[in-house]
Structure 1
Amino acid sequence: MKTGRITTAAGSFLTLFALTLLPWGEFKINRVARGIPIQAMGFLGWAMWTTSIVVLLLIIAVIRWKPRFFNAILSWILLFLPSLGLILLSRYIPDGVDFDPKVARISLGIGFYLFYVGILLLLSKTAYPKLKIFLSFLFILAFAGNMDALGLVREYRNIEETFLRELSRHLTLALFSAMAAILPGILLGYAAMRYPKAREWIFGFVHVFQVAPTLSLLALMMIPLTALSKAFPFLADLGIKGIGFAPAFIVLFLYSLLPITANTYAGLKQTDPAVLENAVALGMSPRQTLINVWFPLTLPSIFAGIRTAMTQNVGNTILAGLVGGGGMGALIFLGLSQSALDLVLLGTIPVVVMALILDAVFEVVEVGTVRKLGVDYDQNLRVE
């Protein structure tokens, strides 16, 4: 109860603070020019701004005291507020400024981001919070066609084909490198459980890649791959060379080993010995016990490791852009080199969204597996 009140209070403070004091964006006459701050009052006008404050206070009060009927109605109104605010913001035209409508843009400011975070906090205390949070983001995407003046939309339209290509590369690299680590990770986890003397060496091996900086691993991987491609030219024709897809894939694969290995070991370790003894008493061979009893009971923990590896890889794949591997990192680093914040955000936001979606999908799979198998496990169990 106390946590819920704090969340509601934080959401209320952020939305009202952003709506009254913080700039929602900056009007720029071109991509890199210094912007003119835009307050909420500037693009809403006095009447609509005052109305917005009153309506928001009413919604917050309803959510706070939770009358069911009004809560159900007004909480859904919150879904539309971020997209409505962006549409109105994109229609803002400053007075006394000469600009080319084809080049000028509005970059989002701290005000909008804090307002949106506040809305998400308020939605989290209503019924079906995850669905409503997802729909609020979906509405922004659905109405993006009415926000042509926003810098993010302009950048997307300028490089739409490149954006979709790099997004596909990013997902391919992140997912397939993690998928390639599933079987080796499970085998390493089983080996650590089966052979206690080898456990320290196995976890020392997979920990090295987690501890080492990603950029360092990429640089180290480029050296042998470059030598191999020169010694065997057909490898270069297959794309295995010092720059590009290969070094990024190998590094991401190595990064994915630890969570899968550790969770496999943890799942095997916490299996009740009495269950295994009963399986042996029923006449099962060690192989049958492993396949029919031990492994199914470990599946939820393995899924948790795969979930961690997948979401981790989505973020780490950004660095593939530094070695020619493509992905959203290519857009982010291009934006940084050109001092184009909108392009940086265009590359960053999809990465965050992809990580959240993947995490949610694998959480559903993980929970579904637990329920189907009728088993439970300690998610806080960690390998020392």
Structure 2
Amino acid sequence: MIAGAHAAAPGRAQAGSTADAARVHTARVDRVGVLIAGTIAAALAFAPFVTFRANRIVAGHDLALAEIFPHWQAVTLYAAGAASVLFALLRSRPAPRFAAGAVLLLGLGALVGHVPAHLVTDDNPLARVSPATGAWLLFFAYAALVVDASARLALGPVRRLAALAAACAVLAALLHAGWWDGLSVMQEYAARADTFWQEASRHTALVSGSVAAAITAGVPLGVACARSAKLRGVLLPALNIVQTIPSIAMYGLLMVPLGLLAAHVPLAAALGIRGIGAAPAALALFLYSLLPIASSVVVGLRQIPPHAVEAAAAMGMTRAQRLLQIELPLALPVILSGVRIVLVQNIGLAAVAALIGGGGFGTFIFQGIGQSATDLVLLGAIPTIALALAAAVVFDAATALAKGRRA
């Protein structure tokens, strides 16, 4: 038995060392990085990098990096991609990870802008070059690397705003320098530059106007619901029903009553209220915005510590003074979170308003769908996504600042 125990001891030691090595190996692998690295590897190995078309109308064919650049350049790019796979896979500190992700994003953007110079020649000036699946997957992976690193860094609100401003400045500089002018989506923009900015202003006005109106109406409704359980039990479920109506159906439902109103009330028609156009779009966005804002006010007011309100009452403050000076400021972070949800939601829903003549970036999206022009769709979709992301970052920072001020 003693001999058996001595014989089993080396086996247990070997098993323990193997388990320790496995734990060390696992500790060196970043869990989020596994997904990022897999996405990068799939994009480089299996997905085309760009799509090349002889003109705007004909179908194009996909090209990988090795089919675009000379051999030594393609090998260098694949090696850089493999290095980024390894870097994403292994655990590292957040700051170098953030910097590497930002550099990779910038390098990828520069590479995509450089591709048309290799494919479009004087013999085929009408040729079109668009990013394909591989390029979009790489953009997603490197952006995920940046977002994951920034979350681990736990950047404060001011630094987040500074990072957003820096990213916007770099993007504006590249656009102003014409680095991406050879891409098909920028050629679509060049043909519609004046219209683009008109639709951008309409989109912004539609979103900002509907959100401002919803805040004006939603905050008092939320205060009333917080103070009256009976009203809360009736109003919030009714607003919740509005949220279940699809946006296209909502626009259609509003066209008939607004059209009748314009036909029978000359003042309404003079103010621009019609069955189609901005009026039904703005009204639909306003109705969609009421529930998130009102419910955020209710939640914010109900989570205020009772002793804070009691202390204000003991100081002789009136009910209105307590609401304006104590309760609403304490509930502000929750209210701002509701406004952020509404703003991001309306930026997306405003694109659908183009179907009823509401204008906005959706105009290019639906024109592109009708013409089977993917790059025209991107001309409307990319600014919509960028605007929503910027709004989310700004209001997240505002919420964090409000929480810090309250603390």
Name which of 109, 113, 119 aligns with 1:93. Answer: 119
Match in the other structure for 1:305: 338
Q: After superposition, what is the alpha-carbon deviation per residue over 1:28-67, rounded to whole angstroms, capped at 9, x for unaligned?
A: 1121311021111112232112212323334554563537
Q: Provide the rounded CA distance (Å) in 2 between the counterparts of 1:231 and 1:6.
A: 63
Secondary structure, aligned partner of 2:194: helix
Secondary structure, aligned partner of 1:124: helix
Name which of 103, 109, 112 aligns with 2:135. Answer: 112
Residues 57-136 of structure 1 aligned to structure 2 (within 5 Å): 57-62=82-87, 64-66=90-92, 74=100, 77-93=103-119, 100-101=124-125, 103-126=126-149
Q: Provide the rounded CA distance (Å) in 2 between the counterparts of 1:202 and 1:189.
A: 10
| TM-score normalised by the chain length of structure 2 | 0.83
Secondary structure, aligned partner of 1:240: coil
Cα displacement (A) at 1:272:
1.4
* 2:142 equivalent to 1:142: no
Match in the other structure for 2:78: 53
Q: Provide the rounded CA distance (Å) in 2 between the counterparts of 1:289 and 1:45.
A: 71
Q: Provide the rounded CA distance (Å) in 2 between the counterparts of 1:341 and 1:209.
A: 33
Tell me, yes or no, if the aligned pair for 2:296 and 2:335 is still in contact at 8 Å: yes
Residue 220 and residue 16 in structure 1: after superposition, are their counterparts in 2 closer, same or farther (change >3 A)?
same
Residue 273 and residue 73 in structure 1: after superposition, are their counterparts in 2 closer, same or farther (change >3 A)?
closer
Match in the other structure for 1:177: 210
| Equivalent AA in structure 2 for residue 88 of structure 1 | H
Secondary structure, aligned partner of 2:304: coil
Name which of 246, 260, 263 aligns with 1:227. Answer: 260
Tell me, yes or no, if the aligned pair for 1:25 and 1:109 is still in contact at 8 Å: yes
Q: Provide the rounded CA distance (Å) in 1 between the counterparts of 2:262 and 2:284.
A: 18
Tell me, yes or no, if the aligned pair for 2:113 and 2:183 is still in contact at 8 Å: no
Tell me, yes or no, if the aligned pair for 1:12 and 1:122 is still in contact at 8 Å: no
| Equivalent AA in structure 2 for residue 289 of structure 1 | R
Residues 211-226 of structure 1 aligned to structure 2 (within 5 Å): 211-226=244-259
Name which of 341, 355, 364 aligns with 1:322. Answer: 355
Name which of 267, 270, 281 aligns with 2:300. Answer: 267
| Equivalent AA in structure 2 for residue 270 of structure 1 | Q
Name which of 35, 59, 76 aligns with 1:34. Answer: 59
Residue 140 and residue 187 in structure 1: after superposition, are their counterparts in 2 closer, same or farther (change >3 A)?
closer
Residue 171 and residue 208 in structure 1: after superposition, are their counterparts in 2 closer, same or farther (change >3 A)?
same
Cα displacement (A) at 1:70:
7.2
Secondary structure, aligned partner of 1:23: coil
Residue 192 and residue 155 in structure 1: after superposition, are their counterparts in 2 closer, same or farther (change >3 A)?
same
Match in the other structure for 1:257: 290
Q: Provide the rounded CA distance (Å) in 2 between the counterparts of 1:76 and 1:172.
A: 32
Structure 2: unaligned runs, 5 residues or longer: 1-25
Residue 99 and residue 225 in structure 1: after superposition, are their counterparts in 2 closer, same or farther (change >3 A)?
farther
Match in the other structure for 2:44: 19
Q: Provide the rounded CA distance (Å) in 2 between the counterparts of 1:234 and 1:279.
A: 47
Residue 332 and residue 212 in structure 1: after superposition, are their counterparts in 2 closer, same or farther (change >3 A)?
same
Q: Provide the rounded CA distance (Å) in 2 between the counterparts of 1:66 and 1:44.
A: 32
Secondary structure, aligned partner of 2:282: helix
Aligned length: 371
Q: Provide the rounded CA distance (Å) in 2 between the counterparts of 1:371 and 1:94.
A: 53
Secondary structure, aligned partner of 1:91: helix
Match in the other structure for 1:194: 227
Tell me, yes or no, if the aligned pair for 2:104 and 2:142 is still in contact at 8 Å: yes
| Equivalent AA in structure 2 for residue 168 of structure 1 | S
Match in the other structure for 1:5: 30
Q: CA RMSD in A?
A: 2.7
Match in the other structure for 2:7: none
Q: Provide the rounded CA distance (Å) in 2 between the counterparts of 1:60 and 1:132.
A: 24
Cα displacement (A) at 1:360:
0.6
Match in the other structure for 1:334: 367
Secondary structure, aligned partner of 1:260: helix
Residue 74 and residue 196 in structure 1: after superposition, are their counterparts in 2 closer, same or farther (change >3 A)?
closer
Q: Provide the rounded CA distance (Å) in 1 between the counterparts of 2:257 and 2:383.
A: 32
The range that moved more, 203-212 or 262-271, is 203-212
Tell me, yes or no, if the aligned pair for 1:190 and 1:264 is still in contact at 8 Å: yes
Residues 358-369 of structure 1 aligned to structure 2 (within 5 Å): 358-369=391-402
| Equivalent AA in structure 1 for residue 142 of structure 2 | I
Structure 1: unaligned runs, 5 residues or longer: 375-384
Tell me, yes or no, if the aligned pair for 2:259 and 2:275 is still in contact at 8 Å: yes
Residues 150-165 of structure 1 aligned to structure 2 (within 5 Å): 150-165=183-198
Q: After superposition, what is the alpha-carbon deviation per residue over 1:291-350, rounded to whole angstroms, capped at 9, x for unaligned?
A: 222221111111111111111100000111011110011111111111111100110111
More helix by share: 2
The range that moved more, 315-324 or 293-302, is 293-302
Q: Provide the rounded CA distance (Å) in 2 between the counterparts of 1:178 and 1:196.
A: 26
The range that moved more, 334-343 or 276-285, is 276-285
| TM-score normalised by the chain length of structure 1 | 0.88
